[in-house]
């Protein structure tokens, strides 16, 4: 009995995986989020007829860390660094994002200059150059304490290679300020490049107090509701124990979206696709990722991750699923700029008041209102299975917007959707064309409550030949949470030249990293049960149903490296075959570099600058067989397209054993509207919809047969 709950800006989704069936529910998000999480959990448990005490594992994806950063409502943070480098957070890198902007605006640092404390010490690549005295440690502790911080970030030069000074200082600060989180960059992100490491440590310190308070409230609510304390989905696509997640909020910046990528990879692989673009469109934002499944077995499939991400303009050198997010969702509000052009987003109506058609007080036109006005959403069915729609309110909202743009109501609605599709297509190009990937070779896997409404038009925009729409698309990210493995990883910063590196050196370093990961697994009980009761409150034990056998059963180990040609300023991440020597690495790197950048230097010298061991404990999976859905004719309505109104059919998604007018293999041609309990889909003219196990397949007329022609 595994419970997954994903919080979005508008809806909170819950999935319960039982041994033979999966249940889902969707409720409106709340503030505070913890109340909505428990409400969604109760809703799905009620559907399944399962008591809270029957839940064996609870996985949660949240947006608290991201919101704290975007809204700049994190903790007052004091930053401690080596003498002479106080202003590095402000200086950053000498990059100009907008080349011809005369007065560029930089993102202001999260720490005020007066809250930056410097330390008289120095460590170089060869070791200590200026010792850190006991008197200096005492002086720094006094200065930091006088600032009355809510969090402290410590980052000294070269601490990723020689962490002793940083460890001493962090320990002294933690002793003097026992209630204040103290973040050490050498412990959090032991990678070279001091600015990025500093930024990561500051990010973590800035958001951790807020995420920690949220998780404490949620844990208390879970205990009161007789639910297990949740594991938390991290940005890397695996879960973290509750106690560990409380200590490092920066690991949770992409907590929710990572679940959708994991679920999308599993569905695409089960249907025989080798490449998929995940497209998660909710009420507030859209998240996109490109997943390559070639050559990977059922267990241990690595998601596309990167350690060179920026979140809200701040570098973060932690492993994160390579997701690109845009502020475009069903609740994105439309405005008209000073030149009379339509704009959609980034502001969102959220859950309160929500789009105008929700009838909860919203008056600004949103993308959901535009879809309803054009007839792409059935007006007689609750949207997302939760909200009864008020079409008149949507027409009134568009009626106020249209004159400002000099358009009719229907034209304004179409214009809004074109702008929204353009913004989302740009996000898909970010994860494909800008990384050397051809979107025409990918299936577009659309989910979220609004994903199916725009998937076909997006596929037309980027050239993808097919769309997959999961049968539980509305709560698909929560489904990915429930299936997510527990993840433990350790990273080492290196500078290996493959021409001089020996197999012995290679295996010695990997053995040390695996030993460190094994210690982390043992500390967590490997399958979730803590080895020691010390410091663990009653009920905080994760209850995982994994197999207890030899040390490797149920655990997938993976080796990852970041490599580059000598002299390059950027790296490529690769998964390398575990326990193999360095022989195949050069060929693998040349091939990846050519695929990504269009060329390779066969005679070029290759450097490995980071190594990472990842251990993932596989989650128990339901024995549910993916069933086909049938499309049952459910009347019809009016659709506005091609400058006129047309009568189109409505279809409902029903399970295979409920029957229906369309057989499982039958393909229906658009235009038509498909509705399910928690999502809607629009199939335009020139597209067909049919059924696959676990998903609807939408294919452009004339596309090649087979799984998208993509194998």
Q: What does the H/E/C string look like for 66-132?
A: HHHHHCCCCCCEEEEEECCCCCHHHHCCCCCCCCCCCCCCCCCCCCCHHHEEEECCEEECCEEEECC
- The dihedral formed by the CA atoms of 357, 427, 448 and 394, expressed in degrees to the nearest 10: 10
Listed in sequence order, the residues at least 6 apart from 569 whose beta carbon sits closer than 8 Å to its beta carbon are none
- 471 with 629: CB under 8 angstroms? yes
What's the pLDDT score for residue 667? 87
- The dihedral formed by the CA atoms of 587, 269, 299 and 589, expressed in degrees to the nearest 10: 10
What's the pLDDT score for residue 553? 60
Report the 10 Å Cβ neighbour count for 519: 12
β partners of residue 493? 610
- DSSP-H helix ranges across 503-632: 503-523, 585-597
Q: Which fold has domain 486-617?
A: Dna Ligase; domain 1 (3.30.1490)
Map residue 192 onto helix, strand or coil.
Answer: coil
Q: What CA–CA distance (Å, rounded) separates 484 from 618? A: 7
β partners of residue 387? 383
pLDDT less than 50: residues of the chain:
297-300, 527-551, 657-664, 706, 708-711
Q: Which residues of 396-405 are buried (b: 16+ CB within 10 A; e: fewer)?
A: bbbeebbeeb
Residue 303 token pair: 């998601």
Question: Which sequence spans correspond to the domains of the chain?
Answer: 76-180, 255-328+424-480, 332-421, 486-617, 629-685
- 25 with 40: CB under 8 angstroms? yes
30 class by beta-carbon count within 10 Å (0-12 exposed, 13-18 middle, 19+ buried): middle
pTM of the entire predicted model: 0.85
Sheet of 644-655: strand order equals 629-641, 644-655, 672-675, 680-683
What's the pLDDT score for residue 387? 81
Q: How many residues does the chain have?
A: 711
Q: What CA–CA distance (Å, rounded) separates 391 from 107? A: 41
Q: What CA–CA distance (Å, rounded) separates 316 from 419? A: 30
Residue 614 token pair: 């990842």
Residue 512 sits at φ, ψ, to 5 deg, of -65, -40
- DSSP 8-state assignment for residue 366: B
Q: What CA–CA distance (Å, rounded) separates 171 from 109? A: 25
- 135 with 121: CB under 8 angstroms? no
What's the pLDDT score for residue 564? 94
Name the nearest CA neighbour of 451 among 480, 433, 471.
471
Superfamily grouping for domain 255-328+424-480: ATPase, nucleotide binding domain (3.30.420.40)
What's the pLDDT score for residue 106? 80
Map residue 54 onto helix, strand or coil.
Answer: helix
Q: What CA–CA distance (Å, rounded) separates 22 from 4? A: 11
State how far Cα 311 lies from the chain centre.
12
Q: How far apart are the first and last CA of the chain?
A: 35
Q: What CA–CA distance (Å, rounded) separates 332 from 552? A: 47
Q: What CA–CA distance (Å, rounded) separates 359 from 356? A: 6
Side-chain-side CA neighbours of residue 704 (13 Å) = 11
What's the pLDDT score for residue 624? 59
Listed in sequence order, the residues at least 6 apart from 5 whose beta carbon sits closer than 8 Å to its beta carbon are 12, 13, 14, 15, 37, 40, 41, 58, 59, 60, 61, 230, 478, 481
Q: What CA–CA distance (Å, rounded) separates 613 from 258? A: 20
Name the nearest CA neighbour of 672 among 622, 347, 680, 664.
680
């Amino acid at each position: 009995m595994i419970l997954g709950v994903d919080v979005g800006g508008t809806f909170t989704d819950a999935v319960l995986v039982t041994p033979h069936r999966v249940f889902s529910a969707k409720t409106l998000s709340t503030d505070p989020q913890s109340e909505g999480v428990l409400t969604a959990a109760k809703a799905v448990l009620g559907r399944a007829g399962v008591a809270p005490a029957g839940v064996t594992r609870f996985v949660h994806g949240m947006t608290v860390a991201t919101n704290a950063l975007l809204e700049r409502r994190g903790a007052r943070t004091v930053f401690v660094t080596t003498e002479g480098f106080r202003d590095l957070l402000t200086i950053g890198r000498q990059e100009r994002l907008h080349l011809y902007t005369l007065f560029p605006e930089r993102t202001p640092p999260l720490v005020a200059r007066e809250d930056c404390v410097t330390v008289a010490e120095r460590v170089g690549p060869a070791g200590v150059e200026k010792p850190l005295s006991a008197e200096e440690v005492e002086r720094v502790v006094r200065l930091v304490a006088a600032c009355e911080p809510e969090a402290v970030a410590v980052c000294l030069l070269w601490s990723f290679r020689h962490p002793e000074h940083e460890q001493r200082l962090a320990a002294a600060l933690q002793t003097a300020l026992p209630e204040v989180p103290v973040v050490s960059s050498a412990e959090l992100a032991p990678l070279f490049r001091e600015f990025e490491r500093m930024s990561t440590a500051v990010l973590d310190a800035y958001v951790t107090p807020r995420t920690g308070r949220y998780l404490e409230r949620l844990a208390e609510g879970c205990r009161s509701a007789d639910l297990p304390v949740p594991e938390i989905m991290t940005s890397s696509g695996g879960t973290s124990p509750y106690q560990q997640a409380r200590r490092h909020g920066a690991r949770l910046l992409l907590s929710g979206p990572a679940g959708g990528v994991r679920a999308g990879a599993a569905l695409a692989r089960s249907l025989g696709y080798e490449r998929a673009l995940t497209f998660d469109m909710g009420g507030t934002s859209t998240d996109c990722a490109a997943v390559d499944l070639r050559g990977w077995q059922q267990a241990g499939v690595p998601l596309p991750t990167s350690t060179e991400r920026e979140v809200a303009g701040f570098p973060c050198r932690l492993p994160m699923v390579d997701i690109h997010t845009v502020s475009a969702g069903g609740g994105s509000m439309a405005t008209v700029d000073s030149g009379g052009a339509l704009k959609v987003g980034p502001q969102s109506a959220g859950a309160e008041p929500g789009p105008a058609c929700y009838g909860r007080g919203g008056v600004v036109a949103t993308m959901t209102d535009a879809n309803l006005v054009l007839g792409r959403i059935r007006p007689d069915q609750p949207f997302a299975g939760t909200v009864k729609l008020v079409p008149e309110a949507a027409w009134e909202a568009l009626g106020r917007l249209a004159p400002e743009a000099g358009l009719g109501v229907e034209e304004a609605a179409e214009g809004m959707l074109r702008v929204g599709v353009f913004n989302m297509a740009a996000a898909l190009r970010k994860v494909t064309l800008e990384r050397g990937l051809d979107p025409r070779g990918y299936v577009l896997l659309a989910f979220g409550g609004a994903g199916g409404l725009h998937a076909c038009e997006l596929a037309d925009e980027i050239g993808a030949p097919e769309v997959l729409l999961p049968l539980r698309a509305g709560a698909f990210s929560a489904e990915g949470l429930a299936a997510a493995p527990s993840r433990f990883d350790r990273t080492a910063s290196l500078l290996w030249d493959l021409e001089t590196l020996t197999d012995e050196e290679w295996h010695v370093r990997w053995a040390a990293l695996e030993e460190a990961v094994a210690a982390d697994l043992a500390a967590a009980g490997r399958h979730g049960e803590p080895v020691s009761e010390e410091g663990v409150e009653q009920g905080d034990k994760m209850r995982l149903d994994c197999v207890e056998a030899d040390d490797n059963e149920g655990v997938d180990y993976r080796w990852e490296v970041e490599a580059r040609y000598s002299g390059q300023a950027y790296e490529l991440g690769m998964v390398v075959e575990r326990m193999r020597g360095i022989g195949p690495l050069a060929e693998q790197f040349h091939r990846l570099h050519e695929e990504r950048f269009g060329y390779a230097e066969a005679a070029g010298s290759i450097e490995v600058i980071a190594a990472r061991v990842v251990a993932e404990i596989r989650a128990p999976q339901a024995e549910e067989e993916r069933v086909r859905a049938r499309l049952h004719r459910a009347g019809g309505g009016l659709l506005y397209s091609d400058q006129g109104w047309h009568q189109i059919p409505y279809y409902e998604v029903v399970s295979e054993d409920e029957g229906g007018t369309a057989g499982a293999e039958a393909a229906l041609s658009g235009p038509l509207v498909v509705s399910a309990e928690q999502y809607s889909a629009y199939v335009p003219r020139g597209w067909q919809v049919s059924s696959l196990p676990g998903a609807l397949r939408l294919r452009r007329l004339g596309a090649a047969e087979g799984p998208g022609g993509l194998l």
